[in-house]
Amino acid sequence: MTPSPSDTSTTVVAQGTFDILHPGHVHYLSDAASMGTELHVIIARRENVTHKEPPVLSNEQRRDMVAALEVVDEARIGHPEDIFVPIRDIEPDVIALGYDQHHEEDSIAEALDERGIDCEVRRASGREPNHDDELLSTGDIIDRVCDQRC
């Protein structure tokens, strides 16, 4: 018997640092959730973030904040050494990259293929600020806090 479309599920994985949640994060995760029926989010460990300033908030706090979002089915902290371990555990159909994440789709797809992980890699859409005062970057939020409070 062939499953009906309502019987099939599509698991999506999104990943990121998610330091100081902002509307850009919410947009990314909402867009990722729309790519499937179940959204898993992998939170980068503070000690593994090397492409930018490390997160201000703890791994656990960032995970808990992301897990509280309605579109997220599960949030977990990434593996200490191998970013592909949780992906192998989740067995996603789609990996949704943020529109401005430093990862290249082709490189991720190749690394997945080398590990025998069969899933599609997509890039989420970007989002423009809704008004002049809206910040969509953790770095910009930190800069504003420092300008106004430090």
pLDDT digits (tens, 9 = 90+) for 12-46: 999 999 999 999 999 999 999 999 999 999 999 99
Residue in the structure block whose two tokens are 């593996």: 79
Residue 81 lies in a domain: yes
Residue 43 lies in a domain: yes
pLDDT tens for each residue of the chain, 150 residues long: 444 455 689 999 999 999 999 999 999 999 999 999 999 999 999 999 988 889 999 999 999 999 999 999 999 999 999 999 999 999 999 999 999 888 889 999 999 999 999 999 999 999 988 888 999 989 999 999 999 998
Residue 51 Cα distances to 16, 42, 48, 76, 150, angstroms: 12, 17, 9, 20, 26
> 88: domain CATH number?
3.40.50.620
Residue 1 lies in a domain: no
Q: Which domain holds residue 51?
A: 9-149
**Annotated binding-site residue numbers for ATP:** 17-18, 22-25, 100
Residue 71 lies in a domain: yes
Domains held by the chain: number: 1
Residue 141 lies in a domain: yes
In the structure encoding, which two tokens stand for residue 41, read together?
A: 């989010």
Residue 77 lies in a domain: yes
pTM of the model: 0.90
Residue 138 lies in a domain: yes
Number of helical (H) and strand (E) elements in the chain, helices listed first: 5, 5
**Annotated binding-site residue numbers:** 17-18, 22-25, 100
Residue 22 lies in a domain: yes
